Amino acid sequence: MLFSALSALALLTAASAQMTVQVGSTASAPGGIFQFIPNNITAPKGTVITFQFSGVPGNHSVTQSTFADPCDPVAGGFDSGLVQEPTTPSQTPEFNLTITDDTKPIWFFCKQLLPSPHCGVGMVGAINAPTNGSNTFAAFQTNAMNFGKNSGQGQGGLVGIGASASASVGPIPSGVTVLTGTPVGSATGSGSASSATNTSPAGSSPASPSPTNSATGLVASSLVATLAAAVVFILV
């Protein structure tokens, strides 16, 4: 019984792992400004992926798309909105996605158009992409770089296909602006300009508490405590 309880504890811990993806970088970094780091990851169901908008100054998004249409938002997909940051924000905005289906690949891109479409220079990413065949991450990135037009500007939501967020981007310190636009599939649809703005004036508090930043951190402390108590009971 003790072995079973400890095994359950180990499985719970593994299922609650957290990974971190950097959104944007700097001109001097390998790969330049327009990239997600890492851009191709494997994450089992239950994993929380924290997208950190740490490439400053920057203006980027994490927007779900499809393999066939890499630079357009997919209807029903997740979308952080465009996060514009100054050179030295006091806090790093984050967007947390929980993987809800690890049986299919999840594709995403940055929909920023300035100074040129970020998706078109390869700022795309994948979660659980096939490692062989025709639908690999490398093929997806090539599709994006051959897109040949502006990225769609339709706005997704918090709940996506295979992954969802429980909250919008946060914290939003002074100088950071989050822009959202028309939902995908609405009258003005893909390609519309961003319209809504969420900003934080100087001196205001963050929109939400900053989540755990560690790539290997765990997010199940309360459940772990419960199982630990069960182990103690079994031993007694």
Write the pLDDT tens digit of every residue in 127-149: 999 999 999 999 999 999 999 99
Residues 127 and 225 reside in one and the same domain:
no
Residues 233 and 198 reside in one and the same domain:
no
Low-confidence ranges of the chain (pLDDT < 50): 3, 9, 15, 186-197, 200-236
Residues 114 and 184 reside in one and the same domain:
yes
User: In this structure, which amino acid lies at residue 74?
Assistant: V
Q: What is the CATH number of the domain that holds 70?
A: 2.60.40.420
Write the pLDDT tens digit of every residue in 95-137: 999 999 999 999 999 999 999 999 999 999 999 999 999 999 9
Give the number of domains in the chain: 2
Residues 153 and 228 reside in one and the same domain:
no
Residues 78 and 132 reside in one and the same domain:
yes
- Residue-number span of the structural domain to which 229 is assigned: 1-16+220-236
C-alpha separations of 66 from 53, 104, 106, 126, 176 in Å = 22, 11, 8, 10, 29
* Predicted structure pTM score: 0.75
Residues 89 and 196 reside in one and the same domain:
yes
Residues 163 and 203 reside in one and the same domain:
yes
